[in-house]
């Protein structure tokens, strides 16, 4: 990064001007993959994309903020709906960095989930 401080400027990313702000200091290939993943998350056509989620058998917690501007919280409904026995928790007014915004709420949910699912595995 020190030898190529402007490497993010060479990534051709149309329709996403906040790219450098969202991924500061991330290697080119990693950042590009993350961007492509974000585009998939924003997709409105979910048919076939989430079919593998049906095969998850481990206890799963899906946690999101209701005000996430990067990944819509509605996506969590789709994900939790496809994973058998998944827990869904949406933290009101939280954004994408909900674990930093509301660390006590986040940790309480996580601790509760782990204590219950560890004692009663699926």
Do 21 and 67 reside in the same domain of the chain? no
Do 57 and 111 reside in the same domain of the chain? yes
The Cα-based distances of 27 to 2, 4, 20, 23, 112 in angstroms read: 12, 11, 11, 9, 36
The answer to whether position 102 is within a domain reads: yes
Do 59 and 103 reside in the same domain of the chain? yes
Q: In this structure, what is the dihedral angle of CA atoms 63, 97, 28, 1, given to the nearest 10 degrees?
A: -140
* pLDDT tens-digit map of 3-42: 555 544 444 444 444 555 665 666 666 767 766 666 665 5
* pLDDT tens-digit map of 80-96: 998 999 999 999 999 98
What is the per-residue pLDDT for 43?
55
The answer to whether position 1 is within a domain reads: no
21 within 8 A of 32, measured Cβ to Cβ: no
* pLDDT tens-digit map of 91-119: 999 998 898 899 999 999 999 999 999 87
Range of the domain at 17: 7-41
């Amino acid at each position: 990064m020190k030898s190529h401080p402007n490497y993010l400027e060479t990534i051709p990313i149309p329709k996403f001007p906040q790219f450098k702000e969202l991924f500061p200091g991330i290697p080119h290939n990693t950042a590009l993959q993350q961007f492509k993943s974000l585009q998939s998350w924003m997709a409105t056509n979910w048919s076939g994309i989430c079919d593998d989620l049906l095969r998850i058998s481990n206890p799963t917690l899906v946690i999101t903020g209701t005000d996430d501007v990067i990944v819509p919280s509605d996506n969590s409904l789709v994900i939790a709906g496809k994973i058998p026995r998944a827990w869904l928790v949406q933290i009101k007014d939280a954004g994408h960095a909900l674990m930093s915004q509301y660390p006590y709420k986040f940790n309480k949910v996580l601790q509760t989930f782990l204590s219950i699912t560890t004692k009663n595995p699926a």
